[in-house]
Amino acid sequence: MATTPVQTPLTALIPIKAEFVDELRDKLKNNAIDPSGLDAVGTVHFASIFVFEPNNPSGVPSNLAAVITVYDGDFAAYIQDFVNQASVAEFFNGFLMVVDDPAAAGLVPVQKNAAAFAKLVQKYDNTNPANVPWGQFYSAYPKLTVQNILHPSS
Amino acid sequence: MPQASFDTTPADPLKIHPEDLPDIQGFIVHGYNMPKSRHFVFTIGQVGAALDFLGALTSGSGALSITSAERWPGSVKPEYALNIGLTARGLEALKLPANVSINPGNFGSFLGGAVAAAKTVGDTGPNDPDHWVTKLNRANADLVHVLLSLYTNTAEDRESYSAQLRAMFAPVIPPAGAPGSDVMEWDVDPEIITDPVTGEKYRQIHFGYTDGISNPIIDEVGLAPVRPNQLPYVPAWQFVTRYGSPPTYVPPTYNMPMPLPFGQNGTFSAFRILEQNVPAFEAFLSADGRDEAAQEFLASKLCGRWRNANPVVFRPLEAGPRLPDYKLSYFDYGTDSVGEPCPYSAHTRRTNSRGGPLVVPLGDKVDHRIMRRADAYGPPYTGVDDSQPRGLAGHFMGVMLADQFEFVMSQWVNSGTFPGGTAEAGIDPLLGNVPDGSSFTYWESGRPVTVEGLSRFVTTKGGLYCFLPSITAIKWMAQNGGASNPWTVPLLPS
């Protein structure tokens, strides 16, 4: 029987206000988040963040920002550590101002509202088993956390 | 009747100042080291009487008053110290004005209560709130309103001050026979040991380890500079509610409970009753024919300290003479990424990674800290299984329960995937919710050594989450409670 992976996927597709979509799309093409902030948290395996292109071949609406990540541990528990990184907070404070959700702007500054920010992201997560059963997640190394990989025992 | 003015100025979010000390409940900032304590938990049945009680505790008119953090003249301990906590249901019972706001995003754990948080912190199975002491269990959770923590120096003083305190709160509780009329009283009697060589006094828990080491130090005006290898002082806002400074008001990383007289200079606490199974612990140590030296070696790996408190990081092979107090806390795990000499699952490493290779190298040294004011209860263990309940009870404090107490319990103590090479590190053997058939692994000479037969040593017997208000807040509540359109515990988003 396969081992339940220690990693968890997150695939959040978040609506962006029409007047800000193009600006955000361009911003995300230029490494908007300093990777050292993600290094510091130490639980994120991979992360992609982009806004869908207009007329993309998949027909996905182009006002959607995608946050696609694989991480260790409990998303909500680590969110405070995540937004405590200055560069991460700076990015998401700007991001929240352009999200097309009535709750978003009120979460700025995100450092003070980390738990509510996590809930907002998880609301738009299409691969959160707490929402609905969604499909299959495969891991080639189900027992290895980021820290296990970066600091092997041997 | 003239109302007192509560013209409250926002205090420094980063440091405690001398003028703050009279407003903060004493045990948040300083441990009292008073050996005979008793915790009372009761229900508010009469709002008017409850408000009078709060007033009496802070006006000097009552037999006992709440102890602040003001330093004792000549460092002479008073005959008693008294502190108070209120649960969310307790605040609701006071009928505070509707302008009270406690942000559910930041303080949802407190608002939901300890029973609702049981799964998060590992209070499942034998730890489940259904099995807790009656006053605190799942069925009675909504009736848990007020926690009084009384500290004294002698058993006689504990009795005489308890009698006076009971008389003070007698009008507050529901009448006999009504729901919540019972009062829980829990005695805590740490064993105070005097080191025969140094004469230093220290407290021991029932597993034989020295307790009370390495609490966080809240940053305060006038503290000496941090020594090498000492963990940084913790910014005040993590242990005392502070508003934040303009222009961004960040930190703190929470929205201050409001209004300011109510919200400032308080903190939150997880009060816990943890029953310790000493016979099982001793049986684990002495299994497999281990001699005394081998038992002490294994005990040091379970904890990360020898029983005399020496960290295994300084003394990997044997305890040696007890190091001076200041050295006991001045260490980290360096570049160790295997768990040698201190296993990742050792209790002290599980509860504080000291900036190790996981999570926010700087922040981890400062964040997720817990102020512990807990001590041994029950008779000392004499080597005979007497079936007497014994364990550890007291407060685990920090403003952000979710990011401090609950984070440590859920992400580190009870999480078997804490990093440490490719071997599963295992949960904290001295505190975690250890399932039957577990084992404990430590590393020696670069190889793992697994000891089978690890069983549960600790069972949760009670818990509550409370707000420890400032002296100003207690006066404010006394004056403003009993409102006709009162604050109620908000429904938390699921």
Taking only the tens place, the pLDDT of each residue in B140-151 is: 999 999 999 999
Q: How many other β-carbons are positioned within 10 Å of the β-carbon of residue B50?
A: 28
What is the average pLDDT across B40-47? Answer: 98
Q: How far is B476 from chain A (nearest CA, A)?
A: 26
Inter-residue contact A85 to A37 (CB < 8 Å): yes
Flag whether A97 is in a domain: yes
Flag whether A19 is in a domain: yes
CATH of the domain at A38: 3.30.70.100
CA dihedral sign, ordered A90, A38, A75, B407: negative
B95 phi, psi to nearest 5 deg: 55, 60
What is the average pLDDT across B404-425? Answer: 73
Flag whether A147 is in a domain: no
Flag whether A72 is in a domain: yes
**Would you mind telling me the total number of residues written for chain A in this entry?**
154
Partners of residue A7 on adjacent β-strands: A72
Q: Which residues of B touch A112 (CB under 8 A)?
A: 106, 249-250, 252-255
Q: What pLDDT, on a 0 to 100 scale, did the predictor assign at position B360?
A: 38
Flag whether A32 is in a domain: yes
Flag whether A100 is in a domain: yes
Q: Reading across the β-sheet that carries B80-86, which strands appear in turn?
A: B184-188, B36-42, B146-152, B80-86, B458-468, B267-276, B391-397, B371-377
A25 phi, psi to nearest 5 deg: -55, -45
Flag whether A152 is in a domain: no
Query: Is residue A134 over pLDDT 90?
Result: no
- Cβ within 8 Å, pair B105-A152: no
Q: What is the pTM of this model?
A: 0.93
Query: Is residue B426 over pLDDT 80?
Result: no
Top-ranked range on mean pLDDT: pick from B65-74, B220-229, B332-341, B442-451: B65-74
Distance of CA B300 to the CA centre of its chain: 23
Mutation site, B349, B360, B405, interface A, largest A CB count within 10 A: B360
Query: What DSSP character marks residue B2?
Result: P
Q: Which residues of B touch A40 (CB under 8 A)?
A: 360-363
Query: Is residue B230 over pLDDT 80?
Result: no
Top-ranked range on mean pLDDT: pick from A100-104, B359-363, B429-433: A100-104
Identity of the residue numbered A138: Y
- Cβ within 8 Å, pair B359-A150: no
Q: Report how many domains make up chain A.
A: 1
Taking only the tens place, the pLDDT of each residue in B372-395 is: 999 999 998 988 888 899 999 999
Structural domain span for residue A127: 7-135
Top-ranked range on mean pLDDT: pick from B187-201, B214-228, B290-304, B405-419: B290-304
Identity of the residue numbered A71: Y
Nearest residue of B to residue A40, measured between CA atoms: B360
Distance from C-alpha of B183 to C-alpha of B75, rounded to nearest angstrom: 33
Domain coordinates of chain B in residue numbers? 18-273+462-480, 276-359+406-458
What B225-231 contacts at long range (C-beta under 8 Å, 24+ apart), as own/partner pairs, is: B227/B326, B227/B330, B228/B330, B229/B330, B229/B331, B229/B332, B230/B329, B230/B330, B231/B329, B231/B332, B231/B354, B231/B365, B231/B366
Top-ranked range on mean pLDDT: pick from A88-92, A126-130, B36-40: B36-40
Q: B274 or B330: whose pLDDT is higher? A: B274
Flag whether A84 is in a domain: yes
Q: Which residues of B touch A80 (CB under 8 A)?
A: 253, 367, 400, 402-403
Distances in Å between the alpha carbon of B283 and those of B207, B249, B295, B454, B457? 12, 53, 10, 10, 11
- Cβ within 8 Å, pair A150-B357: yes
Q: How far is B7 from chain A (nearest CA, A)?
A: 25
Q: Which residues of A touch B250 (CB under 8 A)?
A: 89, 109, 111-112
Taking only the tens place, the pLDDT of each residue in B462-481 is: 999 999 999 999 999 999 99
Distance from C-alpha of B300 to C-alpha of B291, rounded to nearest angstrom: 14
Residue A108 structure tokens: 């700025």
**Before A109, cis peptide (omega within 30)?**
yes
Top-ranked range on mean pLDDT: pick from A12-16, B246-250, B349-353: A12-16
Query: Is residue B78 over pLDDT 70?
Result: yes
Which has the minimum average pLDDT: A105-109, B89-93, B197-201, B297-301?
B197-201
Confidence band for B359, pLDDT divided at 50, 70 and 90? very low
Distance from C-alpha of B372 to C-alpha of B358, rounded to nearest angstrom: 23
Q: B200 or B12: whose pLDDT is higher? A: B12
Query: Is residue B35 over pLDDT 70?
Result: yes
- Cβ within 8 Å, pair A115-B108: yes
Q: What pLDDT, on a 0 to 100 scale, did the predictor assign at position B214?
A: 75
- Cα dihedral B353, B355, B358, B362, rounded to 10, equals 140
Q: What pLDDT, on a 0 to 100 scale, did the predictor assign at position A139?
A: 92
Does residue B424 sit at the A interface (CB-CB below 8 Å)?
A: yes
Taking only the tens place, the pLDDT of each residue in A65-114 is: 999 999 988 888 888 888 988 888 999 999 999 999 999 999 999 999 99
Q: What percent of chain A has pLDDT over 70?
A: 95
Q: What pLDDT, on a 0 to 100 scale, did the predictor assign at position A131?
A: 64
Could you say which of A85, A111, A153 has the minimum Cβ distance to residue B250? A111
Could you say which of B254, B360, B419 has the minimum Cβ distance to residue A147? B419
Query: Is residue B371 over pLDDT 80?
Result: yes
Chain A residues touching chain B at CB-CB below 8 Å: 6, 40-43, 72-74, 77-78, 80-81, 83-85, 89, 109, 111-116, 119, 143-145, 147-148, 150-154
- Cβ within 8 Å, pair B419-A80: no
